[in-house]
Amino acid sequence: MHRVVLWPSGLRFSADPGTDLLSAAAQAGVAVPAACRNGVCEICEARLRSGEALNTRNQREISIGERLMMCRTHALADLELEITAVMAAGNNQPRKVQAKVVDVRSISHDVYRVELEIPRRRELSFHAGQYLSVNLPDADPCYFSIASSPSAQNIELHIQASPDWVSAQKVIDALTSGQDVTLELPHGKACLASAPEKPVLLVAAGTGFAQMKSLVDYLRETSFNHPIKLYWGVRKHEDMYLRTLAQQWERDWPPFTFLPVVGDDEDNDWGGHHDQLVRAVLASGMDWQNVEVHASGSPTMVYTLMDALIEAGLPQAAFFSDVLEYAPR
């Protein structure tokens, strides 16, 4: 296997000598723009900075500084390529787009699944785990995690709406099938632009599951085969609105383990600091020196979890959450 580094993003992946670079990147979860996959559209164009590579169209070795099509190139040694179309995690620039509401349906007593269609979807890129804003007229932007993989044709949201969640309820009330809505995306730094090369721990509270669904859908499309555990904490059983989906992942995908944590399993005292969820995570038996953690939930939950894991030995750089960006302490 040869190592391939893309610049300026710094993303890395491994390429077998018999696999074209575009396919190898896809197996690692690195999104390289492409269309035809036979070297004609030239969308996957890169430039060779160092190493040895073969043009499979004419069986000619590519010279340093020469442009190449990743779909028609095999690595003969470790490579460095220049390709500005590939972004590092969280570096995509947000922009406003018009989307059409395809479907809005209730999937629990207070959670709705929203499906949105974006014209010219191929031209819009985001990373697994990022979020967007729904911009209604005469209202502040309302932010929601994207629950779908970056490769999905439509965008999926999970919106918790009730009289207690005024802004979210306003969004649900405004969205009807066939209607257009303004979005701004993508946002967020706690995301994946390539598959990690170590085990992954996902921790969600409530509708924080939406972000985890995006990450899981994305990793299942790659060659990722390290252990991956999902802890999902809720107050009551009925709050775990897609429990059967998480159970299906566990049945179908060998690396994946689902561990639900429900407050009313014991004394119905969830607690302001989500201590039950944090205790369950700490008891997982993972090697905290060799794991990547993604957490989604309230700032209280996220910081309680982060502090506990760092004390247990997790390097702070291995902990990712949007809370660290929008609610710094």
For the record, the structure tokens of 280 come out as 């369950």
What's the average model confidence in pLDDT over 301-318?
96
- The pLDDT tens digits for 32-49 are 998 887 778 889 999 999
Whether the predicted pLDDT of 267 surpasses 50 = no
Q: What is the mean pLDDT of the chain?
A: 93
Q: Residue 271 pLDDT > 60, yes or no?
A: no
Report the distance separating Cα 323 and Cα 325, nearest Å.
5
Mean pLDDT value of segment 286-313: 96
Answer whether residue 58 shows pLDDT above 90.
Answer: yes
Give the other-Cβ count within 10 Å of 111's Cβ: 21
Alpha carbon of 1 to those of 18, 55, 281: distances in Å? 10, 18, 35
Q: Percent of the chain at pLDDT above 90?
A: 87
Distance CA 88, CA 68 (A): 21
More confident residue, 284 or 263: 284
pLDDT in tens, 114-148: 999 999 898 899 999 999 999 999 889 999 999 99
pLDDT for the residue numbered 163: 78
Between these two residues, 129 and 164, which has the higher pLDDT value?
129
**Can you give the pLDDT at residue 52?**
97
pLDDT at 63 over 90: yes
Q: What is the mean pLDDT of residues 159-186?
A: 91
Residues pairing with 181 in the sheet: 99
Which range is least confidently modeled, 1-10, 31-40, 124-133, 243-252? 31-40
Please tell me the predicted confidence (pLDDT) of residue 1. Answer: 92
pLDDT tens-digit readout, 186-212: 999 999 999 999 999 999 999 999 999
